[in-house]
């Protein structure tokens, strides 16, 4: 199983199953279950190299965490949704469930790498194995999964792993869990070890901020200015969160995360 999207092994599920509405993120409306007009016959995106310029920035911040190929190749054994309306209906219904499960696997996988989480690593591993087992079930079993209940169970462990990791950060640690920080002026802020779980950081000025070991699970970074910010070792940080923000060559991230291509157009903040 891979937690990295492989579009070459997927039947374009994110481009069909999910809806989007005309907005700053999408150039047009598309109902769930209807193929995006940019989807080609080979299930590839016809404007993938110029999504932002074409008004589809929302596509650049979506990650299925490998759920697309799991549904396409494992759950439905490589079947093509275009040949049977009932198969299509079931595939499109299963995809969001699988995506949620793969996201949980991604977070559990991250937590198991935290040195400070060693006391609960066995519990994290058991939770990972349980969720992974679910992803191998058939369509009916997957549609019966209580995703929210599973999230609550896993979140208890993820929160404990976060607490253990952040406890190693010296000094006072801010608690901004779920906070409304839209447009907040946080340039140069010391947010080491802070809890930013589920925080709304849309358009926030985080230039040169220190977010090392900050818990950013579920934080909304859309339009946030991360130029010069240090996100080294930020807990549960994902590539879509980075892609939703703006940064530059001075923004620090930890591999395997990478600076999004559109950051290359941003000016530097002067941070080292």
Residue ranges covered by each domain of the chain: 7-166, 173-272
Q: What percentage of residues in the chain have a pLDDT greater than 70? A: 97
In whole angstroms, give the CA distance from residue 3 to residue 109: 9
What are the DSSP E strand ranges found in the chain?
none
Q: What's the token pair of residue 71?
A: 């549904």
Residue 133: its pLDDT value, please?
A: 97
- Residue 93 tokens, joined: 């219904």
**Residues 6 or more apart in contact with residue 179 via CB below 8 angstroms:** 196, 199, 200
What is the average per-residue pLDDT within 178-200? Answer: 97
| Residue 117 in this model has a pLDDT that exceeds 50 | yes
Structure tokens at 192: 């080491």
| pLDDT of 270 | 36
Domain made up of 173-272: CATH architecture: 3 Solenoid (2.160)
| pLDDT at residue 265 in the model | 59
> 58, 45 in Cβ contact below 8 A?
no
Two structure tokens written together for 9:
């092994």
Mean pLDDT, residues 194-205 = 97
Rounded mean pLDDT, 115-127: 98
Q: Could you tell me which residue, 79 or 160, shows the higher pLDDT?
A: 160
| pLDDT exceeds 50 at position 33 | yes
Residue with token string 């939703």:
244
**C-alpha pair distances (Å), 145 with each of 116, 140, 142:** 31, 9, 5
| Angstrom distance (rounded) from CA 217 to CA 199 | 9
Give me the mean pLDDT over the 229-252 stretch: 96
- pLDDT (mean) for 139-144: 97
| Average pLDDT over all residues of the chain | 93
pLDDT over 70 (residue 40):
yes
Report d(CA 23, CA 56) in Å as an integer. 9
């Amino acid at each position: 199983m891979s937690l990295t999207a492989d579009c070459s092994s997927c039947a374009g599920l994110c481009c069909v199953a999910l809806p989007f509405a005309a907005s700053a993120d999408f150039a047009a409306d598309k109902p769930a279950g209807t193929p995006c007009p940019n989807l080609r016959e080979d299930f590839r995106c016809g404007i993938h190299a110029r999504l932002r310029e074409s008004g589809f920035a929302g596509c650049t911040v979506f990650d299925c965490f490998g759920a697309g190929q799991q549904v396409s190749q494992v759950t439905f054994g490589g079947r093509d949704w275009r040949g049977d309306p009932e198969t299509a209906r079931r595939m499109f219904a299963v995809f969001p469930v699988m995506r949620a499960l793969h996201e949980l696997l991604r977070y559990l996988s991250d937590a198991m790498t935290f040195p400070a989480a060693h006391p609960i690593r066995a519990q994290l591993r058991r939770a990972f194995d349980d969720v992974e087992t679910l992803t191998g079930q058939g369509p009916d079993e997957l549609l019966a999964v209580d995703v929210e209940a599973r999230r609550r169970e896993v979140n208890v462990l993820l929160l404990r792993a976060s607490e253990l990791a952040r406890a190693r950060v010296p000094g006072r640690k801010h608690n901004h869990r779920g906070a409304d920080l839209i447009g907040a002026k946080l340039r140069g802020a010391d947010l080491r070890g802070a809890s930013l779980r589920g925080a709304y950081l849309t358009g926030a000025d985080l230039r040169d901020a220190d977010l090392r070991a900050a818990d950013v699970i579920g934080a909304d970074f859309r339009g946030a200015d991360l130029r010069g910010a240090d996100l080294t070792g930020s807990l549960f940080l994902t590539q879509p969160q980075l892609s939703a923000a703006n940064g530059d060559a001075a923004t620090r991230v930890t591999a395997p995360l990478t600076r999004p291509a559109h950051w290359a157009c941003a000016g530097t903040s002067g941070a080292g």
